[in-house]
Structure 1
Amino acid sequence: MATLVTFDVDGTLIHSVGPKSNYLHKAAFTAAFKEVFGLDTHIDVVKHHGSTDALILLKVLVHHGVPLEQAAARLPEMQAAMVAHFEANKQLAGEGLELLPGVLPLLEALAGRDDVAVGLVTGNLEPIGWAKMDALGIRHLFSQIGQPPANFGGFSTDYCNPANVEESWRDRAEFVRIAAQKLEAGRPGGIKARFHVGDAPMDVQAAVGGGAQAIGVCTGIYTKQELSEAAPAAVVLDDLTDTAAVLRVLGLS
Structure 2
Amino acid sequence: MRRLVMWDIDHTLMDAGRAGPLACAAAFTAVTGLPHRETALMAGRTDRDIAMQTFTLHGIADCEPHLDGFFDVVVAEFLARRHLLREQGRLLPGVPDVLTALGGRPHVVQTLVTGNLRPIAEAKLAEFGLTGLVDVEIGGYGTEDVVRATLVRGSLERATARHGEFSSADVFVVGDTVHDVTAALANGVTAIAVATGGTTAADLAAAGAHVVLDDLGDVDAVVRLLAGAPD
Do both share a fold (TM > 0.5)?
Answer: yes
Judge conservation of contact 1:123–1:155 (CA < 8 Å) in 2. yes
Partner in structure 2 of residue 134 of structure 1? 126
d(CA) in 1 for partners of 2:188, 2:154: 11
CA change 1:36–1:237 in 2 (3 A) is same
User: CA offsets, 1:89-143, max 9 Å, x none?
Assistant: 5455444211001111110110001101000111001110110000111112213
1:51, distance to aligned residue in structure 2 (A): 1.5
Alignment counterpart, residue 21 of structure 2, candidates 17, 26, 29: 26
CA change 1:43–1:99 in 2 (3 A) is farther
Judge conservation of contact 1:218–1:239 (CA < 8 Å) in 2. yes
Partner in structure 1 of residue 50 of structure 2? 56
CA change 1:32–1:123 in 2 (3 A) is same
1:43, distance to aligned residue in structure 2 (A): 4.7
Deviates more, 1:116-125 or 1:243-252: 243-252
Partner in structure 1 of residue 145 of structure 2? 160
Query: Identity percentage over the alignment?
Result: 39
User: CA offsets, 1:41-85, max 9 Å, x none?
Assistant: 1654x3332222111111111111111xx1133211211111122
* 1:203-242 alignment runs, 5 A limit: 203-231=180-208, 233-242=209-218
Partner in structure 2 of residue 124 of structure 1? 116
Counterpart residue type for residue 13 of structure 2 = L
d(CA) in 1 for partners of 2:90, 2:202: 26
How many residues align? The count is 227
Partner in structure 1 of residue 72 of structure 2? 80
1:239, distance to aligned residue in structure 2 (A): 1.0
User: CA offsets, 1:8-39, max 9 Å, x none?
Assistant: 111100014xxxxx232222201220121112
CA change 1:89–1:217 in 2 (3 A) is closer
d(CA) in 2 for partners of 1:95, 1:72: 34
Structure 1 ranges of 4+ moved more than 6 A: none
1:251, distance to aligned residue in structure 2 (A): 5.1
Counterpart residue type for residue 74 of structure 2 = M
Instruction: Report the secondary structure of 1:191's partner residue.
Output: coil
Could you list the runs of 5+ residues in structure 2 that have no partner in the other structure?
none
TM-score, normalization by structure 1: 0.83
Partner in structure 1 of residue 105 of structure 2? 113
TM-score, normalization by structure 2: 0.90
1:237, distance to aligned residue in structure 2 (A): 1.1
The structure where strand makes up a greater share of residues is 1
1:226, distance to aligned residue in structure 2 (A): 0.3
Instruction: Report the secondary structure of 1:180's partner residue.
Output: helix
Judge conservation of contact 2:108–2:227 (CA < 8 Å) in 1. no
1:179, distance to aligned residue in structure 2 (A): 1.1
d(CA) in 2 for partners of 1:243, 1:116: 16
Cα RMSD (Å) of the superposition? 1.9
d(CA) in 2 for partners of 1:42, 1:120: 31
Q: Does 1:6 align with 2:6?
A: yes
CA change 1:222–1:79 in 2 (3 A) is same
Could you list the runs of 5+ residues in structure 1 that have no partner in the other structure?
17-21, 144-149, 162-170
Instruction: Report the secondary structure of 1:181's partner residue.
Output: helix
Counterpart residue type for residue 45 of structure 2 = S
Instruction: Report the secondary structure of 1:129's partner residue.
Output: helix
d(CA) in 1 for partners of 2:162, 2:222: 26
d(CA) in 2 for partners of 1:160, 1:214: 20
